[in-house]
């Protein structure tokens, strides 16, 4: 087991955390990763507390009309039905106003009963102005000014709340840059009444010593930036002076990633390749890598849970045991998958009215709809796809994913998939499942026969849905980017689109997809079903056993949170 020094607490800050199917406080991969991280921390009894915002209006409910036009509505949910109210209160200062912050608690319980509390911050209090009350309503909503104010609540309000709860955090983990203003709060505490100009290297070191930062975004445009004049108006002269004294303002801009980089002692990317890309973007800061994972117990279908409980009962406590899936009889793997496929098809029929065929090879593609993910690449040449389905074996395709309300390119993608679906009717069945969220995601990643992922390189920092698929014996066909560079063994755990070195382009990548489907994957699926089942089984034993958040959290504990302590233990032991 891992060693955690006694009386240590790690405060894990994330703008979104997917806690529960009925708590709509996440938008996609980042939130699911945060939730899975805390679920594994609970399983491992690592002393972590989570901090996030309440998001009273949720992310959003996606509605699609027959042509694939997306509209959005708020998700109405009642925090009091799902969360425990907490008495503690704290405040932050915004534009000179005192904004009161309350919190709700969600306990994440691990396999042995250990509890990781998550505090969801909420400004809907009668003592706040009407506008301040909306600060914890919308995840990734509003303008840049709204976002800055939210990040003050998250970072500074979160740190202050932990203080008022008497939870002393030794380590602060910033999951992405949104919470980076917590370092400003730590700088203020470090000064303890001294003025900004008195800040010295020792003070900065003291703050850095306690902060760990995980970056998730491989493009500069993805990082939150605020003009320093806006920051000055919102946070005041003294705060800006402090940020300047700590060398965290460049070109009259506060960049949250730069702030986190400067004030964290340890920084990591979320896959080996993403480390490299991030190191190129930020050559002045050493960047490490801890590859993402998923929570095995959460993402394994009921059918595979039963199979694993029977064959490898230790798997929930220790995900390394998934390695022994290599010995499970292929017939049992096939049977568990058939059941997961049936469950998915029933859920799709219920949501869309479309009855797909359980005997037909089914491709899954579901994730945020945004241009770099290229959801419509499979339809680059619809006639060719139809020809493959007719001559080699039938194909049906399941899509899902929300476009951010302001992402017109993402919305176009959804429309184009609907157009292609109409054009292919009668040849290839295509369904787009509305309102992709954890519940339906769990069924799709487990129920399809192949998980397709074709982002533009190197924009996929990690990707996690292919890991969920792997746990359920669903191989990937994917571009060699993010985690797949590490998880891919050609023909053993799945298949690649292109190679890792050369840059893919639209037509080359589409051509590779068609070639692999036509010559390798479909012939295997329809012609040699037990050989296909071997790929399924290897996905679990080779990739399920590694790409899980249990291994990931253990690496965070050893490499990021408590490296000195671990070294001391090694020297003594
Ligand atoms: C896992 C998951 C994602 C992330 O998918 P990627 O493949 O990493 O893009 C997004 N949304 C939901 C609901 C998920 O469960």
DSSP string, 208-270: HTTEEEE---SSGGGS-EEEHHHHHHHH-HHHHHHHHHTT--BTTEEEHHHHHHHH-SEEEES
Distance CA 511, CA 416 (A): 19
Do residue 274 and residue 392 come from a single domain? no
246/303 same-domain check: no
CATH of the domain at 199: 3.40.50.2000
**441 CB under 6 A from ligand 1?**
yes
Ligand 1 pocket, residue 436 CB under 6 Å: yes
Ligand 1 pocket, residue 366 CB under 6 Å: no
Q: How far apart are CA 34 and CA 26, in angstroms?
A: 9
Residue 485 pLDDT grade (very low, low, confident, very high; cuts 50, 70, 90): very high
* Ligand 1 contact, 28 CB (< 6 A): yes
Ligand 1 and 429: CB distance under 6 A: no
**Mutate which of 17, 23, 30, 32 to test ligand 1's pocket (most atoms within 8 Å of Cβ)?**
32
pLDDT of 567 strictly over 80: no
- Ligand 1 pocket residue status of 463, Cβ below 6 Å: yes
For residue 397, tell me if it sits in a domain: yes
Which pLDDT does position 500 carry in this prediction?
83
Question: How far is Cα 119 from Cα 135, in angstroms, rounded to an integer?
Answer: 16
Q: Quick check: CB of 443 below 6 Å from ligand 1?
A: no
Residue nearest to atom 7 of ligand 1 (CA): 465
Probe target for ligand 1 pocket from 367, 438, 453, with the most ligand atoms within 8 Å of CB: 367
Q: Is residue 1 very low, low, confident or very high in pLDDT (cuts 50, 70, 90)? A: low
Of 572 and 270, the structure prediction assigns the larger pLDDT to 270
Q: Is the CB of 10 under 6 A from ligand 1?
A: no
End of a domain among 289, 308, 334?
289
In a domain, 557, yes or no: no
Mean pLDDT, the chain, as a whole number? 96
> Count of alpha carbons within 13 Å of 372, Cβ hemisphere only?
12
pLDDT 10s digits, 331-379 = 999 999 999 999 999 999 999 999 999 999 999 999 999 999 999 999 9
Which atom of ligand 1 is closest in space to residue 464's alpha carbon?
A: 8
Cα–Cα distance measured from residue 226 to residue 255, given in angstroms and rounded to the nearest whole number: 6
Final residue of a structural domain among 268, 289, 310: 289
Answer whether 58 contacts ligand 1 (Cβ < 6 A): no
**Residue at 566 is within a domain:** no
Six-digit token string for 115: 């509890």
In this structure, are 259 and 366 located in the same domain? no
Residue 366 lies in a domain: yes
Distance 568 CA to ligand 1 centre (A): 38
Give residue-wise pLDDT tens across range 151-168. Answer: 999 999 999 999 999 999
Check: CB of residue 333 under 8 Å from CB of residue 474: no
567 against 181, higher pLDDT: 181
d(CA 31, CA 25): 8
User: Where residue 506 falls among pLDDT bands split at 50, 70, 90?
Assistant: confident
Could you list the residue range(s) of the whole structural domain that residue 309 is in?
296-546
69: left (phi over 0), alpha (psi -120 to 50) or beta: beta
Q: By percentage, how much of the chain surpasses pLDDT 90?
A: 93
Stretch (H or E) spanning 417: helix 408-423
Pocket test for ligand 1, best of 26, 27, 28 (most atoms within 8 A of CB): 28
Domain boundary at 289, 306, 322, which? Answer: 289
Q: Are residues 382 and 332 in the same domain?
A: yes
Q: Are residues 311 and 437 in the same domain?
A: yes
* Residue 562 within a domain: no
Q: Average pLDDT of 138-158?
A: 96
pLDDT of residue 220: 81
Ligand 1 centroid – CA 239 distance (Å): 37
397 bridge partner residues: 363, 430
Helices (H), 282-380: 296-299, 302-311, 330-352
What is the rounded distance in angstroms from the CA atom of residue 136 to the CA atom of residue 23? 14
Model pLDDT, residue 565? 65
| Residue predicted with more confidence, 542 or 76 | 542
Q: How far is the CA of 25 from the centre of ligand 1 (A)?
A: 14
Determine, yes or no, domain membership for 30.
Answer: yes
How far does the centroid of ligand 1 lie from the alpha carbon of residue 437, in Å? 8
pLDDT of residue 22: 86
219: pLDDT confidence band, cut at 50, 70 and 90? confident
What's the number of CA atoms in the CB half-sphere (13 Å) around residue 123?
30
| Strand 97-109 with 115-122, pairing | antiparallel
Task: Enumerate the β-bridge partners of residue 400.
Answer: 366, 433
User: How much is the average pLDDT of 17-36?
Assistant: 95
How far apart are the CA of 32 and the centre of ligand 1, in A?
A: 7
For residue 556, is it within any domain?
no
* Inside any domain, residue 2: no
Going by alpha carbons, the residue nearest to atom 8 of ligand 1 is 463
Token pair recorded at residue 376: 């419509």
Q: What local confidence, expressed as pLDDT, does residue 166 receive?
A: 96
The Cα–Cα gap between 561 and 277 comes to: 23
Over pLDDT 70: what percentage of the chain?
98
Q: Are residues 240 and 360 in the same domain?
A: no
Cα–Cα distance for residue pair 351/432, rounded to 1 Å: 10
Q: Looking at residues 440-465, what average pLDDT do you find?
A: 96
Quick one: which atom of ligand 1 is closest to the CA of 294? 1
Q: Ligand 1: does its nearest atom lie under 6 Å from the Cβ of 29?
A: yes
Q: Do both 86 and 231 map to the same domain?
A: yes
Ligand 1 atom with the shortest distance to the CA of 442: 15
Predicted local distance difference test score (pLDDT) of residue 468:
98
Mutation test residue for ligand 1: of 222, 462, 464, 476, the one with most atoms within 8 Å of CB:
464
Is the domain of 264 the same as that of 383?
no
Give yes or no for a contact between 497 and 477, defined as CB atoms under 8 angstroms apart: yes
Same domain, 271 and 301: no
312: number of CA atoms within 13 Å, CB side? 21
What pLDDT digit, counting tens, does each position of 79-114 carry?
A: 999 999 999 999 999 999 999 999 999 999 999 999
The pLDDT of residue 527? 98
pLDDT interval class at 566 (50, 70, 90)? low
For 132-146, 213-227, 476-490, which range has the lowest pLDDT when averaged over its residues? 213-227
State the distance from the centre of ligand 1 to the C-alpha of 163, rounded, in angstroms.
33
- Tell me if 120 CB under 6 Å of ligand 1: no
Rg (CA), the chain: 24
Are 540 and 475 a contacting pair, CB within 8 Å?
no
d(CA 363, CA 208): 46
Confidence category of residue 573, pLDDT binned at 50, 70, 90: very low
The number of distinct structural domains making up the chain is 2
Q: Specify the residue with its C-alpha closest to ligand 1, atom 1.
A: 465
Check pLDDT > 60 for residue 270. Answer: yes
Give the model's confidence band at 300: pLDDT under 50 very low, under 70 low, under 90 confident, else very high.
very high
* CA 93 to centroid of chain Cα atoms: 30
CA 324, CA 376: separation in Å to the nearest integer?
37
Residue 383 and residue 477 in one domain:
yes
Q: For residue 142, how far is the Cα from the chain centroid?
A: 22
Whole-number pLDDT of residue 222? 82
- 3-class secondary structure for 55-72? CCCCCCEEEECCCCCEEE
Indicate if 230 and 305 belong to the same structural domain: no
Are 282 and 301 in the same domain? no
User: In angstroms, rounded to a whole number, what is the distance separating the alpha carbons of residues 404 and 16?
Assistant: 15
Mean pLDDT of 257-270: 97
- Closest Cα partner for 143 from 64, 209, 234, 207? 234
Is the CB of 367 inside a 6 Å radius of any atom of ligand 1?
A: yes
Question: Whose CA is closest to atom 15 on ligand 1?
Answer: 438
> CA 219, 222, 227 angle in degrees (round to 5)?
120
Identify the residue with better confidence: 220 or 573: 220
Give me the residue label for tokens 């910033």. Answer: 174
Query: For the chain, how many helices (H) and strands (E)?
Result: 24, 19
Residue 393 has pLDDT above 60, yes or no: yes
């Amino acid at each position: 087991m891992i060693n955690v020094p006694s009386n240590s607490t790690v405060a894990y800050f994330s703008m979104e955390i997917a806690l529960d199917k009925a708590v709509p406080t996440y938008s996609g991969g980042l939130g699911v990763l945060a939730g899975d991280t805390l679920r594994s921390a609970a399983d491992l009894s690592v002393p972590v507390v989570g901090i996030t915002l309440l998001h009273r209006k949720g992310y959003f409910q996606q509605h699609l009309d027959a042509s694939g036009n997306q509209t959005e509505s708020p998700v109405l949910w009642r925090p009091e039905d799902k969360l425990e109210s907490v008495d503690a209160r704290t405040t932050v200062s915004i534009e000179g106003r005192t904004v009161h912050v309350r919190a709700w608690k969600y306990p994440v319980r691990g396999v042995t009963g250990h509890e990781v509390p998550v505090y969801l911050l909420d400004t809907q209090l009668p003592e706040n102005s009407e506008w301040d009350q909306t600060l914890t309503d919308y995840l990734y909503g509003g303008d840049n000014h709204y976002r800055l104010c939210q990040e003050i609540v998250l970072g500074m309000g979160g740190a202050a709340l932990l203080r008022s709860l008497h939870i002393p955090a030794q380590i602060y983990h910033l999951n992405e840059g949104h919470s980076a203003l917590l370092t400003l709060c730590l700088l203020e505490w470090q000064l303890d009444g001294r003025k900004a100009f008195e800040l010295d290297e020792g003070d900065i070191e003291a703050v850095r010593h306690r902060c760990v930062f995980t970056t998730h975004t491989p493009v500069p445009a993805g990082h939150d930036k605020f003009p320093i004049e806006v920051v000055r108006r919102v946070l005041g002269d003294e705060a800006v002076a402090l940020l300047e004294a700590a060398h965290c303002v460049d070109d009259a801009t506060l960049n949250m990633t730069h702030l986190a980089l400067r004030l964290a002692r340890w920084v990591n990317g979320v896959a080996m390749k993403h480390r490299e890309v991030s190191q190129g973007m930020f050559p002045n800061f050493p960047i490490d890598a801890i590859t993402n994972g998923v929570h095995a117990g959460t993402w394994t279908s009921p059918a595979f849970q039963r199979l694993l409980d029977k064959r490898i009962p230790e798997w929930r406590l220790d995900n390394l045991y998934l390695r022994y899936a290599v010995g499970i009889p292929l017939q049992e793997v096939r049977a568990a998958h058939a059941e997961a496929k049936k469950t998915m098809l029933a859920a799709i029929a219920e949501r869309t009215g479309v009855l797909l065929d359980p005997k037909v090879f089914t491709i899954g593609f579901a994730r945020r709809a945004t241009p770099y993910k290229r959801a419509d690449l499979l339809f680059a040449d619809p006639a060719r796809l139809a020809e493959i389905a007719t001559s080699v074996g039938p194909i049906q395709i399941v899509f899902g994913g929300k476009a951010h309300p302001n992402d017109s390119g993402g919305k176009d993608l959804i429309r184009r998939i609907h157009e292609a679906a109409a054009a292919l009717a009668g040849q290839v069945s295509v369904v787009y499942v509305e309102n992709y969220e954890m519940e339906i995601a769990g069924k799709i990643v487990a129920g399809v026969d192949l998980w397709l992922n074709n982002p533009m390189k190197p924009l996929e920092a990690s990707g996690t849905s292919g890991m969920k698929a792997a746990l359920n014996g669903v191989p990937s066909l994917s571009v060699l980017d993010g985690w797949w560079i590490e998880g891919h063994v050609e023909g053993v755990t799945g298949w690649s689109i292109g190679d890792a070195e050369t840059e893919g382009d639209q037509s080359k990548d589409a051509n590779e997809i068609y070639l692999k489907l036509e010559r390798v994957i479909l012939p295997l699926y329809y012609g040699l079903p037990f050989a296909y089942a071997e790929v399924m089984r290897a996905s679990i034993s080779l990739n399920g056993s590694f790409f899980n958040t249990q291994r990931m959290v253990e690496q965070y504990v050893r490499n990021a949170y408590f490296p000195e302590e671990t070294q001391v233990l090694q020297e003594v032991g």
